[in-house]
């Protein structure tokens, strides 16, 4: 849980019900809450309440503010008129984290008409647990605050200046390049970047509750991007990782992909309700190989729609080991048409796992729509990860994640 905080909470009539749910959530999490109203669904003017929330934050009577209206946009505008306030309207956890880490926002606004309660609670938890620490971001936030006072100045050269954080990153990059040259070109990757690529995975059918707890503890310790679990383990994983930046990913239609689209969509919605923020679905492989393109597209689209209703992402497993190159390309094209965010190589239960050649083919195919590519299946070493990233992978799934981190440390990753 995040540390106990003083929070100003408000809503207009459209956000009243969500505000009450968030009030219960915040109090249960140990926070001290100033309820600024409204107290019913009777129509009120959101700017008045939003500015009261903002005033409490600007005066430092409260450390953070949360304001709910129908869309979240108007309240952000009203709150930002109060000097000292940086308000951000956020519709998913990524925006919430970005608003804190990059912009040092101190007021969160939510749209009750856009954000289901479970997602709103998750957004609030991320917003309250993240912080702005990087020098380059803090210097830009200071520029925003200076502009509020009319004192912002541009560098004499007219261009951006390098912060100490920028200089440290440049120096670190030079050191790593020199180390690579001295070691004959051995790949080096910073540990934080490596961990942020990995979905820490446990999909064995015999996995116990204790195994899931261990998985989540490892993910929290190493700051992996997510844990990837079976549907029956989502609720436990979400509870264990609440208040941390680690996401929960759930497989759907796993491992064969032969279920009807409606069943997969239902499975995805339940996983999202229980805390999953990403879905890894298996396509109908037989339909793809039969040339039933519309059926495959609809299969993916129904799960994508279920994900997008709650701001989750859909990653589509095409099981490359069972496909020809033409079928792999067609699967990627149908994934793009169906509105998913990622294509993924394998379930890990097929004849073989990810290959660099398949990752490169998939990466080239989805490049026009800028989809992510997840390599999974048989990735057990740091060298495997580097090979997949060089081929174009933007995410990696592995059950050997801790071993990979340990190898990276031994090889000099920092």
Q: For 257, which DSSP code?
A: -
The residue ranges of DSSP E strands in 90-174, in sequence order, are 107-111
| Nearest in space to 110 (alpha carbons), one of 197, 174, 214, 23 | 23
Task: Please provide residue 71's backbone torsions phi and psi, each rounded to the nearest 5 degrees.
Answer: -120, -20
3-state secondary structure at position 60: coil
| Nearest in space to 86 (alpha carbons), one of 95, 94, 77 | 77
Helices 164-182 and 135-148: crossing angle in degrees, nearest 10, is: 160
Q: Cα–Cα distance between 229 and 170 in angstroms, integer?
A: 37
315 as an active site residue: the answer is: no
Identified catalytic residue from 264, 328, 374, 387: 374
Q: How many residues does the chain have?
A: 414
Q: Cα–Cα distance between 272 and 118 in angstroms, integer?
A: 9
User: For residue 270, what are its two tokens?
Assistant: 């339940």
Other Cβ atoms within 10 Å of 49 Cβ, number: 26
- Cα–Cα distance list, 305 to 188, 301, 317, 330 (Å): 39, 6, 17, 20
CB 408 within 8 A of CB 191: yes
370 as an active site residue: the answer is: no
Identified catalytic residue from 104, 199, 280, 299: 280
CB 275 within 8 A of CB 235: yes
Half-sphere exposure (CA, 13 Å, Cβ side) for 271?
Answer: 34
CB 278 within 8 A of CB 317: no
Q: Which helix (H) or strand (E) holds 8?
A: strand 6-11
CB contact burial 123-158 (16+ within 10 A = b; e otherwise): bbbbbbbbebeeebbebbeeeeeeeeeeeeeeeeee
Task: Please provide residue 17's backbone torsions phi and psi, each rounded to the nearest 5 degrees.
Answer: -65, -45
Q: Cα–Cα distance between 192 and 285 in angstroms, integer?
A: 35
Q: So which residues are the catalytic ones?
A: 280, 344, 374
């Amino acid at each position: 849980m995040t540390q106990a905080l003083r929070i100003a909470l408000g809503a207009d009539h459209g956000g009243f019900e969500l505000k009450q749910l968030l009030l219960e959530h915040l109090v249960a999490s140990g926070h001290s809450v100033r309820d600024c109203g409204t107290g019913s669904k009777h129509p009120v003017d959101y700017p008045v309440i939003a500015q009261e929330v903002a005033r409490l934050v600007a005066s430092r009577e409260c450390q953070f503010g949360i304001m709910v209206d129908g869309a979240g946009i108007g309240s952000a505008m009203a709150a930002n008129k109060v000097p000292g306030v940086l308000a951000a309207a956020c519709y998913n956890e990524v925006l919430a984290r970005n608003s804190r880490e990059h912009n040092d926002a101190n007021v969160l606004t939510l749209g009750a008409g856009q954000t289901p309660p479970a997602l709103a609670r998750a957004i609030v938890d991320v917003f309250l647990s993240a912080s702005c620490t990087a020098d380059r971001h803090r210097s830009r936030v200071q520029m925003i605050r200076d502009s509020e006072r009319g004192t912002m100045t541009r560098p004499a050269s007219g261009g951006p200046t390098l912060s100490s954080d920028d200089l440290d990153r440049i120096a670190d990059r030079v050191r790593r390049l020199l180390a690579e040259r001295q070691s004959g070109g051995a790949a080096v990757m910073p540990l934080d970047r490596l961990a942020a690529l990995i979905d820490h995975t446990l999909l064995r059918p015999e996995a116990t509750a204790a195994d899931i707890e261990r998985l989540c503890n490892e993910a929290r310790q190493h700051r992996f991007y997510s844990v990837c679990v079976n549907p029956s383990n989502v609720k436990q994983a979400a509870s264990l990782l609440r208040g941390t930046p680690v996401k929960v990913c759930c497989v759907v239609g796993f491992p064969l992909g032969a279920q009807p689209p409606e069943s997969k969509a239902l499975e995805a919605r339940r996983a999202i309700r229980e805390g999953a923020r990403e879905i890894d679905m298996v396509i109908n492989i037989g339909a793809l190989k039969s040339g039933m393109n519309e059926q495959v597209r609809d299969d993916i689209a129904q799960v994508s729609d279920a994900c997008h209703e709650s701001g989750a992402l859909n990653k589509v497993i095409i099981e490359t080991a069972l496909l020809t190159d033409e079928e792999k390309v067609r699967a990627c094209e149908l994934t793009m048409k169906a509105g998913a965010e990622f294509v993924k190589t394998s379930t890990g239960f097929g004849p073989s796992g990810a290959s660099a050649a398949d990752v490169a083919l998939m990466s080239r195919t989805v490049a026009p729509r800028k989809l992510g590519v997840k390599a999974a299946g048989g990735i057990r070493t740091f060298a495997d990860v580097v090979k997949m990233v060089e081929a174009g992978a933007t995410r990696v799934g592995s059950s050997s994640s801790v071993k990979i981190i340990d190898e990276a440390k031994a090889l000099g990753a920092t």
